A and B are shown apart, each in its own frame.
Chain A
Amino acid sequence: MANLKDTDIKTAIGWVLRIGVLGSIAIVLFGGIIYIYRHGHTVPNYQTFTGVPDFVQPGGIINGILTFRGRAIIQAGIILLIATPIIRVVFSAIGFIIEKDYLYVGITVSVLLIIFISMLSGHAG
Chain B
Amino acid sequence: MSVIELTIIILIGSYFAGLLGSLTGLGGGFIIIPLLTLVLHVDIHYAIGASLISVIATSSGSAAAYVKEGITNMRLGMFLEIATTAGAMAGAILAIYTSTHYIAILFGLILISSAVLSLYEKKEHIVKHTSYLGEKLKLNNSYPTADGVVEYSVTNVVGGFFMMLFAGLISGLLGIGSGALKVVAMDGLMRIPFKVSTTTSNFMIGVTAAASAVVYLQRGYIDPGLSMPVVIGVLLGAMTGSKILVNSTSSKWVRVTFSVVVGAIAVQMIYNGIIGKV
Is the pair B89, A118 in contact by a Cβ cutoff of 8 Å? Answer: yes
Minimum CB distance partner of A74 in chain B: B224
Is the pair A78, B227 in contact by a Cβ cutoff of 8 Å? Answer: yes
Is the pair B43, A47 in contact by a Cβ cutoff of 8 Å? Answer: yes
Q: Do A111 and B207 form a contact, CB below 8 Å, given A13-B67, A44-B225, A122-B216?
A: yes
In the assembly, what is the distance between CA of A84 and CA of B9, in Å?
A: 28
A59 within 8 A of B: no
Task: Tell me the dominant secondary structure on chain B's binding face.
Answer: helix
Is the pair B42, A40 in contact by a Cβ cutoff of 8 Å? Answer: no
**Chain B residues in 8 Å Cβ range of A119:** 214-215, 218
- Which residues of A, 71-125, contact B by the 8 Å Cβ criterion? 71-72, 74-75, 78-79, 81-86, 88-89, 92, 101, 103-104, 107-108, 110-111, 114-115, 117-119, 121-123
B207: shortest Cβ distance to chain A, in Å? Answer: 4
Q: Do A31 and B219 form a contact, CB below 8 Å, given A10-B67, A20-B60, A82-B53?
A: no
Minimum CB distance partner of B2 in chain A: A41
The size of the chain B interface, using a CB distance under 8 A, is 64
Minimum CB distance partner of A32 in chain B: B228
Specify which of A50, A110, A122 is in contact with B218 (CB 8 Å cutoff).
A122
**Chain B residues in 8 Å Cβ range of A75:** 222, 224
Is the pair B231, A110 in contact by a Cβ cutoff of 8 Å? Answer: no
Is the pair B223, A108 in contact by a Cβ cutoff of 8 Å? Answer: no
In the assembly, what is the distance between CA of A2 and CA of B228, in Å?
A: 42
**Chain B residues in 8 Å Cβ range of A14:** 64-65, 67-68
Is the pair A47, B42 in contact by a Cβ cutoff of 8 Å? Answer: yes
Q: Do A10 and B70 form a contact, CB below 8 Å, given A18-B64, A46-B43?
A: yes
Is the pair A115, B211 in contact by a Cβ cutoff of 8 Å? Answer: yes
B182 within 8 A of A: no
Specify which of A20, A56, A74, A103 is in contact with B217 (CB 8 Å cutoff).
A56
Is the pair A103, B137 in contact by a Cβ cutoff of 8 Å? Answer: yes
- Which residues of B, 184-214, contact A by the 8 Å Cβ criterion? 206-207, 209-214
Is the pair B60, A92 in contact by a Cβ cutoff of 8 Å? Answer: no
A121: shortest Cβ distance to chain B, in Å? Answer: 6
Q: Do A21 and B61 form a contact, CB below 8 Å, given A78-B227, A89-B207?
A: yes
**Chain B residues in 8 Å Cβ range of A62:** none
**Chain A residues in 8 Å Cβ range of B67:** 10, 13-14, 17
B101 within 8 A of A: no
**Chain A residues in 8 Å Cβ range of B75:** 104
Specify which of B1, B57, B226 is in contact with A81 (CB 8 Å cutoff).
B57
In the assembly, what is the distance between CA of A70 and CA of B228, in Å?
A: 11
Interface string of A9-51 (1 = CB under 8 A from B): 0110111011011001100110110011001111110111111
- Which residues of B, 124-144, contact A by the 8 Å Cβ criterion? 137-138
B200: shortest Cβ distance to chain A, in Å? Answer: 13
In the assembly, what is the distance between CA of A51 and CA of B96, in Å?
A: 12
Minimum CB distance partner of B88 in chain A: A118
Residues of A within 8 A of B (CB): 10-11, 13-15, 17-18, 20-21, 24-25, 28-29, 31-32, 35-36, 39-44, 46-53, 55-56, 70-72, 74-75, 78-79, 81-86, 88-89, 92, 101, 103-104, 107-108, 110-111, 114-115, 117-119, 121-123
Q: A82-B214, A85-B210, A119-B215 are in contact. List 4 more A-B contacts (CB 8 A).
A: A41-B4, A81-B56, A81-B60, A122-B218
Interface CB pairs A-B, < 8 A, 15: A14-B64, A17-B206, A25-B231, A28-B228, A36-B3, A41-B4, A52-B220, A53-B223, A81-B53, A85-B60, A92-B78, A108-B78, A111-B82, A111-B85, A122-B214
